[in-house]
A and B are shown apart, each in its own frame.
Chain A
Amino acid sequence: MAFLELRNVSKSYGEGAERTEVLKDVNMTICEGEFVAVIGFSGSGKTTLISLICGLIQPDEGEVLLRGKKITGPGPDRGIVFQNYSLLPWLTVEGNVAVAVNQVFKDWDPQRRHDQVRKYIEMVNLTPALHKRPSELSGGMRQRVSVARALAMNPEILLLDEPLSALDALTRGTLQYEIEKIWREDRKTAVMITNDVDEGIILADRIIPLKPGPRATLGPEFRVNLPRPRDKNELNDNDIYKHLRNDIVRYMLDIGKETGAGKSALELALPDLQPKDLRPSQREAVLSREVRAAIE
């Protein structure tokens, strides 16, 4: 049975002439223990999609099912890591995780809750920063707190809404590695939204492109049959990786051209930093730069 299922989900915003259909007839099935990355252009409705799964918004048509039960609102069974961390600035690292743990595990005794908080802070290597407030942390550290908070609720599914897009490339690489490691430990079902093809390949079992909105639908999926743990440096020389990457990049560029979503985005000057050795294929390097610009 499908663990998470989206059936003919449509969502639009606004009324009358202002009405824009963001998602149209989205169908998706995710199995238990699977890591799925949804990749798409900005403005294609990625955040709408994850908000629907999270239950923060309701679909106009269709339904979102978790273990066959319809999702009607947000809940701690779906731990979400927001794009901009959403930490409470008046609480320390410990406080931010504790506020979730205390709410979700109300019936636990205090010692057990305390241990749960500490365990997940340790997992994201933030024990030294236990008593710091978010304003004293770097972007990467804040996002780790956010990950710890989501995981400490012991959710059935982990939702990641462009979790690393606000970080610099180096931090992004480290965190990808860490998230992959944490995920491997208990293989929790995860859905990640991203605009970075490499990030998808490193983390996910399956990559589903979201065609550019309005009326966004999902494109054909790409399976990532790469062994874990996946090391970014080793992958650069891996043929499966290179082919897969090329395929996805080409597909994204094609749908970008089709809808024109890529064109306007190409003109944006973007900080295109990726600490990565692209020497094996010059063509791929050019392609990659194009697609990243197009996607972002």
Chain B
Amino acid sequence: MATKVINFLSLCGLTWFVPFVKLASGECPKEQLREILSVIGIPVVSVLIFFAFWSFTAAQIKTSLGNLPGPVAVWEASKTLIAEHRDERAKEKAFYQRQEERNAKRLAKDPQAEVRIRKYTGKPTYFDQIGTSLITVFAGFLIATLLALPIGILCGLNKYVMTAFSPLIQIFKPVSPLAWLPIVTMVVSALYTTNDGLFEKSFINSAITVALCSLWATLINTALGVASIDKDYINVARVLRLGNIEKIVKVVIPASLPYIFAGLRISLGVGWMVLIAAEMLAQNPGLGKFVWDEFQNGSSHSLARILVAVFTIGIIGFMLDRIMVVFQKLVSFGQDVATA
């Protein structure tokens, strides 16, 4: 049991908890306590020092919106955001309840009456915005993956294809999302003219911008992984006389999965980073827009709320990375994966 938990934790890269599990299963308490002190104690101390430094310096910096908020102000702001979320949800619930009651009454009076259900149009809460950001980043990541994987595999299989794509990759890879966004916006508004509202334009703009910036890592890693497959595996495929498609499906892709997933992990990281900038400009109602609106709002709480967003973005980015690490480990049979 304990071994299983430990294996799972190290699979997720959550090695800090390993000593706790060992301690719980009664394994040499003294050693485990020392281990806990070093793996937990050191980070806790360093974070505390950071907080102290932060609250000290923040107090010295006067901005037009008041003092730069320290840890306490940010903590308060995060509590406010949660409270606002609760209020909004309560309002929404009440709205639907009122609507239902009204409709029921109308139907009781006249069974033929046309009943319309109106959607609640309150402003999105902080948590809605986190959700929007996550959906957007995954949409962009999905587009990037669908583009990068086949092209990467082709590049890896054939060096002429690689040579053909190489200049394009080199030129477009370093381009900032802020440069892409205006182009994407114009192209999307020219091509996506339907107003059926399946997707918001701002959502499409942000997702495509994320895709444009994040696909390169997957593409390059896939190409590299496919190109550097152990020659022995190819020999096995040749001896078995596997057809081209079979060779790709049964040998090439599985053999390059560790590289592909390393690329996907970088892509998702880049995508999440780029997303905030894209949302700010595209006005996609996610965390980026939250930051921008707070900045424009310019109230005395704005900076603290933006800092809450900063931490949220960081923590979510970290969790996304951990999820990708798990996948990466699952496909790297017996090879090490860097988790730092």
Interface residues of A (CB under 8 A from B): 54, 56, 73-76, 78-80, 82, 84, 86, 88-91, 99-100, 103-104, 133-136, 153
Does A90 lie within 8 Å of B254, measured CB to CB? yes
Could you say which residues of chain A place their CB within 8 Å of the CB of B238?
56, 73-74
Does B233 lie within 8 Å of A74, measured CB to CB? no
Which B residue's beta carbon lies closest to that of A100? B240
Which A residue's beta carbon lies closest to that of B250? A99
A292 to B136, CA, bound (A): 65
Contact of B241 among A54, A76, A90, A91 (CB under 8 A): A76
Q: Can you show 25 pairs from A to B with CB atoms below 8 A apart?
A: A54-B239, A56-B235, A56-B238, A56-B239, A73-B241, A74-B238, A75-B241, A82-B235, A82-B236, A86-B230, A86-B232, A86-B235, A86-B236, A88-B236, A88-B254, A88-B255, A90-B257, A90-B331, A91-B254, A99-B240, A100-B240, A104-B240, A133-B333, A135-B334, A136-B334
Could you say which residues of chain B place their CB within 8 Å of the CB of A89?
333-334
Instruction: Give the secondary structure class of B's interface.
Output: helix
A88 to B234, CA, bound (A): 10
A54 to B241, CA, bound (A): 12
Could you say which residues of chain B place their CB within 8 Å of the CB of A76?
239-241
Which B residue's beta carbon lies closest to that of A155? B239
A46 to B127, CA, bound (A): 67
Contact of B333 among A54, A86, A100, A135 (CB under 8 A): A135
Question: Measured between C-beta atoms, what is the minimum distance from B1 to chain A in Å?
Answer: 21
Could you say which residues of chain A place their CB within 8 Å of the CB of B235?
56, 74, 82, 86
Does A86 lie within 8 Å of B233, measured CB to CB? yes
Question: Measured between C-beta atoms, what is the minimum distance from B164 to chain A in Å?
Answer: 26
Which B residue's beta carbon lies closest to that of A103? B240
Beyond known contacts A76-B241, A82-B236: 13 more, CB 8 A cutoff: A74-B235, A74-B239, A74-B241, A82-B232, A84-B232, A88-B233, A90-B333, A99-B240, A103-B240, A103-B242, A133-B334, A135-B333, A153-B240
**Restricting to B235-253, which residues have a CB under 8 Å from any CB of A?**
235-236, 238-242, 246, 250-251
**Restricting to B165-187, which residues have a CB under 8 Å from any CB of A?**
none
Could you say which residues of chain A place their CB within 8 Å of the CB of B246?
103
Which A residue's beta carbon lies closest to that of B235? A56
A103 to B241, CA, bound (A): 8
A148 to B240, CA, bound (A): 14
Question: Measured between C-beta atoms, what is the minimum distance from B25 to chain A in Å?
Answer: 24
Could you say which residues of chain A place their CB within 8 Å of the CB of B257?
90
Does A75 lie within 8 Å of B239, measured CB to CB? yes
Could you say which residues of chain B place their CB within 8 Å of the CB of A99?
240, 250
Could you say which residues of chain B place their CB within 8 Å of the CB of A104?
240
Rank and list the top 10 A-B pairs by shortest CB-CB distance, nearest first: A135-B334, A86-B232, A89-B333, A90-B254, A103-B240, A74-B239, A74-B238, A135-B333, A86-B236, A133-B333
**Restricting to B199-245, which residues have a CB under 8 Å from any CB of A?**
230, 232-233, 235-236, 238-242
Could you say which residues of chain A place their CB within 8 Å of the CB of B239?
54, 56, 74-76, 78-80
Could you say which residues of chain B place their CB within 8 Å of the CB of A84?
232
Which B residue's beta carbon lies closest to that of A86? B232
Which B residue's beta carbon lies closest to that of A99? B250
Could you say which residues of chain B place their CB within 8 Å of the CB of A103?
240-242, 246
Question: Measured between C-beta atoms, what is the minimum distance from B243 to chain A in Å?
Answer: 10
Which A residue's beta carbon lies closest to that of B232? A86
Question: Measured between C-beta atoms, what is the minimum distance from B245 to chain A in Å?
Answer: 13
Question: Which among A75, A99, A104 has the highest number of chain B CB atoms within 10 Å?
Answer: A99
Question: Which among B233, B240, B250, B257 has the highest number of chain A CB atoms within 10 Å?
Answer: B240
Which A residue's beta carbon lies closest to that of B238? A74
Which A residue's beta carbon lies closest to that of B251? A88
A90 to B230, CA, bound (A): 13
A99 to B242, CA, bound (A): 10
A80 to B240, CA, bound (A): 10
Question: Measured between C-beta atoms, what is the minimum distance from A95 to chain B in Å?
Answer: 10
A119 to B233, CA, bound (A): 24
Question: Measured between C-beta atoms, what is the minimum distance from A143 to chain B in Å?
Answer: 13
Could you say which residues of chain B place their CB within 8 Å of the CB of A78?
239
Question: Which among B254, B333, B334 has the highest number of chain A CB atoms within 10 Å?
Answer: B333
Question: Measured between C-beta atoms, what is the minimum distance from A58 to chain B in Å?
Answer: 13
Which B residue's beta carbon lies closest to that of A146? B236
Say whether, besides A82-B232, A99-B250, A90 and B255 are in contact (CB < 8 Å). Answer: yes
Could you say which residues of chain B place their CB within 8 Å of the CB of A136?
334
A79 to B235, CA, bound (A): 12
A90 to B254, CA, bound (A): 7
Question: Which among A90, A99, A153 has the highest number of chain B CB atoms within 10 Å?
Answer: A90
Which B residue's beta carbon lies closest to that of A56? B235
A135 to B329, CA, bound (A): 14
Question: Measured between C-beta atoms, what is the minimum distance from A79 to chain B in Å?
Answer: 8
Using an 8 Å CB-CB cutoff, how does the interface string of B250-273 with A read, 1 for contact, 0 for none? 110011010000000000000000
